[in-house]
Amino acid sequence: MPPTNDEKTATARKLSILVPVYNEKETVLEAIDQARKAPVEIEKEIIVVDDGSTDGTGEVLRRAEIENIGIYFHATNAGKGAAVRTALEHATGDIILIQDADLEYDPADYATLLQPILDGRADAVFGTRFLGGEHRVLYYRHYLGNKIITAISNIFTNLNLTDIEAGYKVFKADLLEGSKVESNRFGLEPELVAKIARTRCRIYEVPVRYRGRTYAQGKKITWRDGLAAIWWILKYNLFR
């Protein structure tokens, strides 16, 4: 018998939206605004961490009049994983969602991402760009590298994910209890997959929209991050 609305509310009362930011002065306020307006069934809190931006993003955030938003600042750039680690320290929600500030991922997908958890079918939901969601066509080498990294991760976790590098990851907060995020840069993605997989929880994938950017538009991930991802996969699956 499917859970009632009251049962959903009893098990999930608040969504924490974590927004790591680095040099995104043109999009950060729009990302926050879209996250605020995204329709979801439960209460939301938004936690923004500026990771030592050098382009004026910090000033944009300090000048902005945004109510009921937690905004924190790193003195120097440490990486996406470090920003998410700081945000997690301040999160009070039952469910965690990670939202990049560059708007490559669309907050309009929140309802799709949350539904398997709110329905009581899943404990974690990962977005995927490769199961039918609208996406901008860009770099083939990135696509191929992601497929290789995802395949290596799946070998160790015994999951059949299609896109471990997708930015949208949603999970019940208690899945990471007693486990601190350690990777500082984009190793965050394989680290979260490995740690959540170890809990043997129920994981779903759902298609999400993706508006990828070019390097000229500010894309930051490089081939070095791909090699680092393999290291994090090995570390969290073999040397845990």
For the chain, the structural domain boundaries read 10-139+166-185+202-216
Closest to 218 in 3D by CA, of 103, 133, 107, 130: 103
Confidence (pLDDT) at 137: 56
Confidence (pLDDT) at 36: 95
List Cβ neighbours of 51 (8 Å cut-off, separation of 6 or more): 20, 21, 22, 74, 77, 78, 79, 80, 82, 83
Q: What's the pLDDT tens digit per position in 88-97?
A: 999 999 999 9
| Parallel, antiparallel or unpaired: strands 95-98 and 124-128 | unpaired
pLDDT tier, 101 (very low <50, low <70, confident <90, very high otherwise): very high
- What CATH number belongs to 10-139+166-185+202-216? 3.90.550.10
